[in-house]
């Protein structure tokens, strides 16, 4: 009975020559490696995206902390000047900016932790399983 592979009719495996089997094996391993590399590329792209978002949020948190420090300096100046309650308003603004900076830093940290480790673990696991399957098939094929 004939077998249909990639649009080509082939003979059953038991009837194929060693050269044909090697050719089919080479084609299958080549396709498998291409698919695994595509999976690794997709996984690294996703992790890079999370790392980029996390770094951007860290930067935003740092900018807000910088403005909070400026507001705190203005608060100290106003307090030392012993002017009316203008210092209280500046202190409230500094507190709000620091809370915002803390929130952005926390969200940024969680985004960066989702990107670590950068190794495409799903692709590595899949590749190991493929190698184990091929190794077992070769060993089984070699047994009389």
Confidence of residue 57 (pLDDT cuts 50, 70, 90): very high
Beta-bridge partners for 4: 9
Here the tokens at position 22 are 């090697």
The alpha-carbon radius of gyration of the chain (Å, integer) is 31
Q: For 85-124, what is each residue's pLDDT tens digit?
A: 777 777 787 888 899 999 999 999 888 888 777 777 777 7
Q: For 24-55, what is each residue's pLDDT tens digit?
A: 888 888 898 898 888 888 888 888 888 889 88
Calpha distance 39→46 (Å, rounded): 11
Q: Note whether 13 and 21 are within 8 A (CB).
A: yes
pTM over 0.85: no
Q: What is the DSSP letter of 144?
A: -
């Amino acid at each position: 009975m004939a077998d249909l592979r990639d649009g080509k009719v082939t003979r059953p495996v038991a009837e194929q020559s060693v050269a044909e089997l090697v050719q089919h094996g080479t084609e299958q391993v080549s396709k498998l490696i291409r698919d695994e590399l595509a999976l690794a590329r997709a996984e690294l792209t996703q992790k890079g995206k999370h790392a980029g978002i996390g770094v951007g949020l860290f930067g935003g948190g740092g900018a807000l902390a910088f403005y909070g420090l400026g507001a705190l300096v203005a608060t100290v100046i106003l307090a030392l000047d012993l002017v009316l309650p203008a210092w209280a308003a500046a202190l409230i603004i500094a507190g709000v900016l620091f809370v915002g900076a803390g929130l952005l830093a926390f969200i940024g940290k969680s985004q960066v932790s989702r990107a670590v480790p950068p190794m495409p673990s799903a692709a590595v696991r899949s590749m190991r399983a493929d190698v184990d399957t091929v190794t077992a098939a070769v060993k089984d094929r070699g047994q009389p």
